[in-house]
Structure 1
Amino acid sequence: MSPAATTQETAPSHAPGPSKGAAAASTLAPSVEHDKAAELVDRLIHKLLNNEDTNKEFLLPLADGRIIDTKGWNGWEWTHGVALFALWEHHALTADRRSLDIITKWFHDRMAEGGTTKNINTMAPFLALASIYERNPRPQYKEWLLEWAEWAMNGLPKTHEGGFQHMTYIDDHDGQLWDDTLMMTVLPLAKIGLVLDRPEFVDEAKYQFLVHIKYLSDSRTGLWYHGWNFNGRHNFAKALWARGNCWITVAIPVFLSLLGVQPDTSDFFTRTLLATLRAQLDQLTKLQDPQTGLFHTLLDDPNSYLESSATAGFAAGTLLALRNGFLSSSPNAAAYASMAQKALGGVVSMIADDGELQNTSFGTAMGNDLDFYRNIAITPMPYGQALALFAVVQDMALATKP
């Protein structure tokens, strides 16, 4: 596979979930002036590609001798998968070929290295590859997509009730469900099922959303706990962790968009997901820091630090949902829009001159007490750059909505 192969593609005409007369979206306009947004995109991508762990303090050493670089661009972790997805969205919504070329080169280089071991997090890049395959159906892409999807269906360990066990490079996490699984493995599986006409993959993805809602959504607040353990049946620290919640804000509208759901769809599954999203957003509108527009890393703890990557995810997911009309029937749609635009303003204010999204917390394992989350290090990461990019691109798309 060569980066030059991208010239075979045509410019995309479709971004996930085209809006059709959505009342809520019609009240929205871009918050960032176009030239400023384009300049922010340039800076964010530059930092994404040039982020370095100069002190080697955030490397992930494995028992087999491998060392995974979660900060740099040439590793293979969920951090890269989220970034590849954001780059694809940038390409799909703007037809900018830079991002497509970056994605294609990343896969070319990783294929040349022989790939990596399979786990929940390392499947994240395949949402972007499946999107590329949809426009450029190369046999090598198909082989890889099928291999990983079949692993998710048949090789990935399952919890009780058939949930996707959140196994990672360093631990199988027996019996555990984590909220980021929906973003890292379930969305790629669904997209692969759609582009390869494998409905069983899509059905499994739907089931995973439902089982994760059952055990991770807090019925009292509408927010999400970080994890659930069937071994002991508990939610660990009961942490209402911001970035974990933002994966839900992003994953629900992205999934519905992939499925081609229209705003007036009323089937059980769509109603369940949208009710879940609205319940979360209702609470988020109450928890946003009024001065900065950011959110605390523990959403319900104003003494925990303000965190930018989660805020970017809340802005991006909410703007996507509003733009596609998924929230138009809610009486709180205007409040959601205000929250998203304030969040975007806060994110923009945190983008440094070199493109770094400041106040991004490091990758966060499961915590057994709330202080664990309060003490996570702050450092630039690919997903911070990616979520900020996704938010800015969603704002730019408002200028061209039907």
Structure 2
Amino acid sequence: MIKDDTMATLDRVVRGFCRLKNLNEVGTGDGFAIHFEEWEWEVGVGLYGFWRYAQFCEDAALQRSILAWYEQQIAKGLPAIQINTTAPMIALALVAGHHQRPDLLATVNDWADALLRDLPRTEEGGFQHVVKEQPNTGQLWDDTLFMTCLFLGVAGIVLKRRDLIDEAGYQFLLHTRYLSDPASGLWYHGWTFVDKHHFAGAFWARGNAWVTVAIPEFIELMGEHLDAGIRRYLAQVVARQVRTLCACQADNGMWHTVLDDPLSPQESSATAGIAWGMLRGVRMGILDDAVAVHALRAFDAVLARIDDGGIVLEASRGTMLGWDIQYYCDIAMAPVPYAQALTMLLLLEVEQGNWLGTTR
């Protein structure tokens, strides 16, 4: 793929994101207005990718379309605060900081305060993975780092609140302690303080992808505001994880839904996220240069799974904690906004890092 093709594919994937109305519902429009109706984690990840794309293109019209979606949602009334409903707040914090809108900054501040004050905690002060379906008492999930902790860190930057940055850093450390396997560096999907186990013990691919992307993003977004010791520690955590991810990559460049089970389905949103995090980490200097070869193989594999309408195929739907490996294998595939977003961000990284100009 040449440079112009990368941008054309990126444009197609962004338009595909904008056509999504709800899970597994694809509209027919071809513009850049956002039609997704539900304020949840699925669109939150998508909005983060869309905002990064709008900034990269320096496109004021795209930025306004994101702002318009948030204004409509706020006017309608925001949902109850929990882990997954915090995901759309990541891009809102960036939008509020970019536009310096006092009303939006106040919304970001109120949400951050409510998280610290009201979100149930596990032992040792972890963010309990509360979702609309269930409270998940005493549980830590790897998704939380992207869905909630990135928001707290960004909110700390735009609001100039050290307490939010420190809390986000602590959550990264605590989740690493209980979810990262010390032998392989791969991450379990969840941990329960109630029964003291990792449920199915699954190394779920998309859960690992959230870690591969969240750690470099957190380090980069926090910049000099992140404690040097935490930065050094998290860089080592993701480097160890990535070494094992490289070893379990399939021959065609994809990763399987359960990373160490080659009979489980291959999954494109995880593959896009892992590849993006890898390239981002190499460019930041926290991952070894040799990792890029694996990431670019994954990039080619994801490209082969984008249809003519810009929809990323072979992405699995939202996934609760499973009690056995078969549960993860049975998750249905569907057009989902987070697959669009992770692919957008991968394509953006390939463009920004000039990865196609490097030796492959």
Higher RCO (C-alpha under 8 Å, 6+ residues apart): 1
Letter in 2 for 1:396: E
| Equivalence for 1:10 | none
Moved more, 188-197 or 91-100: 91-100
Structure 1 position 278 matched with structure 2 position 233:
no
What residue ranges of structure 2 are gaps of 5+ in the alignment? 26-33
Percent of residue pairs bearing the same amino acid type: 40
| Equivalence for 2:188 | 225
Any idea what SS the aligned residue of 1:297 has?
A: coil
Structure 1 position 309 matched with structure 2 position 272:
no
CA contact (8 A) 1:350 1:358 kept: yes
CA distance in structure 2 between the aligned counterparts of 1:282 and 1:235, rounded to whole angstroms = 22
Any idea what SS the aligned residue of 1:273 has?
A: helix
Matches within 5 A, 1:362-373: 362-373=317-328
1:300 aligned to which of 252, 260, 284: 260
Q: Deviations over 1:39-61 (max 9, x none)?
A: 112211222121245988xxxxx
CA contact (8 A) 1:72 1:382 kept: no
| Equivalence for 2:305 | 350
Q: Deviations over 1:170-202 (max 9, x none)?
A: 111100000000000101011101111110010
Letter in 2 for 1:276: V
Matches within 5 A, 1:2-401: 32-52=1-21, 73-260=36-223, 267-290=228-251, 292-327=252-287, 333-399=288-354
Q: Deviations over 1:113-167 (max 9, x none)?
A: 1111111000111111111122211111011001110011111000000000000
Deviation of 1:98 (Å): 4.6
Q: TM-score, with normalisation over the residues of structure 2?
A: 0.92
Q: TM-score, with normalisation over the residues of structure 1?
A: 0.83
Give the direction of change, closer, same or farther, for the CA distance of 1:96–1:325 in structure 2 (3 Å limit).
farther
Deviation of 1:271 (Å): 1.5
Deviation of 1:73 (Å): 1.0
Give the direction of change, closer, same or farther, for the CA distance of 1:378–1:98 in structure 2 (3 Å limit).
farther
Deviation of 1:307 (Å): 0.3
Letter in 2 for 1:311: T
Letter in 2 for 1:51: L
CA contact (8 A) 1:74 1:106 kept: no
What residue ranges of structure 1 are gaps of 5+ in the alignment? 1-31, 57-70, 328-332
CA distance in structure 2 between the aligned counterparts of 1:302 and 1:51, rounded to whole angstroms = 31
CA distance in structure 1 between the aligned counterparts of 2:93 and 2:277, rounded to whole angstroms = 20
CA distance in structure 2 between the aligned counterparts of 1:168 and 1:215, rounded to whole angstroms = 20
Aligned residues: 348
Deviation of 1:72 (Å): 6.3
CA distance in structure 1 between the aligned counterparts of 2:293 and 2:354, rounded to whole angstroms = 17
CA distance in structure 1 between the aligned counterparts of 2:286 and 2:97, rounded to whole angstroms = 24
